[in-house]
């Protein structure tokens, strides 16, 4: 029974990682931009939600709904006026700029909010759970997992059912030809980052309700998100979910053997997948 519980907890944890990773996957898939500030943007969104909760007295879910359009705007401006200037044949400038952005964000948050641990007030929901047989499944982890699936279904619909999604895919495959067809890659990229920021807001909501956050916690979240994207394969959103679940389950199984192996097991699983499938499990794009 403990093994069933271990796997279930791992799958639910995978939902959180997938949520961290979905925004990264979107941006990475469309414009090959590795956003090293992704974790810090999640933390920034968490602080934005926290401010709305404490200043306006909104419940966290409503506060996240208010924060989402703000983050959408921030993402659009960030991509349009900063990150677009770094894109080109050289992969180094976007890495350096987002790395710098990560440090700047951390220090700005530290200056503004101090190093105190914060958490979004959750009330009873954070500790409540559903009893299924001998298993206790936390309501909050379950919601996190459900949200991750909803986000991925939503993004897939956007990708394959709308003209914006067609523009995303076209720009991803061949920006030059796409722009010959009247698509402005810069504009498409800005929209993609803005949408990624919506997902970031959702990830921030669950991060903030699940445990403490402080200005320095972002980079530690980035690595799992990044691994989930790579395991899943470039441009595949379902792959990102699978990647998150693989890391989550490996971590809980590793921990069940010995807690020393918890984090290591996730990294080992990542390396094993790369060894067998160097391009990830479900790569969409060919590059």
Kindly list the residues in this chain that would bind other proteins in the complex (CB under 8 A): 2, 5-6, 9-10, 13, 16-17, 110, 114-119, 121-123, 126-129, 136-141, 210-214, 216-217, 220, 224, 248, 251-252, 255-256, 258-260, 262-264
Task: Kindly list the distances between the CA atom of residue 117 and the CA atoms of 43, 55, 207, in Å, as whole numbers in the listed order.
Answer: 12, 18, 13
Cβ nearer to other proteins, comparing 24 with 87:
24
Q: Which residues of 100-134 are buried (b: 16+ CB within 10 A; e: fewer)?
A: ebbeebbeebeeebeeeebbbebeeeeeeeeeeee
Cβ nearer to other proteins, comparing 79 with 214:
214
Cβ nearer to other proteins, comparing 128 with 157:
128
Could you give the 3-state DSSP secondary structure of residue 217?
A: coil
Task: Give the nearest distance from C-beta 138 to other proteins in angstroms.
Answer: 3
Task: Give the nearest distance from C-beta 212 to other proteins in angstroms.
Answer: 4
CA distance 186 to 165: 15
Task: Give the nearest distance from C-beta 43 to other proteins in angstroms.
Answer: 12
Q: Where do runs of H (alpha helix) occur along 181-261? A: 185-210, 218-232, 237-257
CA distance 146 to 152: 10
Task: Give the nearest distance from C-beta 263 to other proteins in angstroms.
Answer: 4
Q: If we measure between CA atoms, which residue out of 14, 15, 69, 99 comes closest to residue 197?
A: 69
Cβ nearer to other proteins, comparing 127 with 162:
127
Structure tokens at 10: 């791992």
Cβ nearer to other proteins, comparing 16 with 241:
16
Task: Give the nearest distance from C-beta 218 to other proteins in angstroms.
Answer: 11
- Are 208 and 118 a contacting pair, CB within 8 Å? yes
């Amino acid at each position: 029974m403990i093994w069933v519980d271990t796997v279930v907890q791992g799958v639910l944890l995978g939902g959180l990682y997938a949520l961290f990773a979905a925004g990264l996957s979107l941006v990475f898939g469309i414009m090959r931009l590795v956003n090293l500030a992704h974790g810090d943007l999640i933390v920034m969104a968490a602080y934005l939600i926290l401010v709305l909760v404490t200043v306006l007295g909104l419940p966290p879910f409503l506060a996240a709904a208010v924060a989402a359009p703000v983050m959408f705007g921030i993402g659009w401006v960030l991509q349009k006026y900063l990150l677009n200037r770094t894109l080109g044949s050289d992969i180094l400038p976007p890495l350096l700029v987002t790395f710098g952005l990560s440090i700047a964000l951390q220090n700005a948050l530290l200056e503004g909010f101090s190093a105190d641990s914060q958490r979004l007030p959750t009330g009873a929901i954070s500790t409540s759970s559903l009893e299924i047989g001998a298993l206790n499944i936390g309501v909050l982890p379950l919601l996190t997992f459900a949200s991750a699936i909803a986000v991925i279904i939503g993004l897939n619909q956007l990708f394959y059912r709308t003209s914006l999604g067609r523009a995303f895919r076209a720009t991803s495959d061949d920006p030059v030809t796409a722009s010959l067809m009247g698509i402005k890659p810069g504009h498409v990229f800005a929209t993609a980052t803005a949408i990624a920021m919506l997902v970031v807001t959702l990830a921030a909501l669950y991060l903030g309700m699940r445990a403490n956050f402080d200005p320095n916690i972002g980079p530690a979240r980035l690595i799992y998100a990044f691994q989930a994207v790579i395991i899943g394969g470039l441009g595949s959103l379902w792959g990102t979910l699978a990647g998150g679940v693989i890391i989550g389950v490996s971590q809980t199984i590793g921990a069940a053997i010995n807690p020393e192996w918890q984090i290591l097991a996730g990294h080992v699983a990542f390396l094993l997948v790369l060894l067998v499938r160097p391009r990830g499990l479900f790569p969409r794009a060919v590059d």
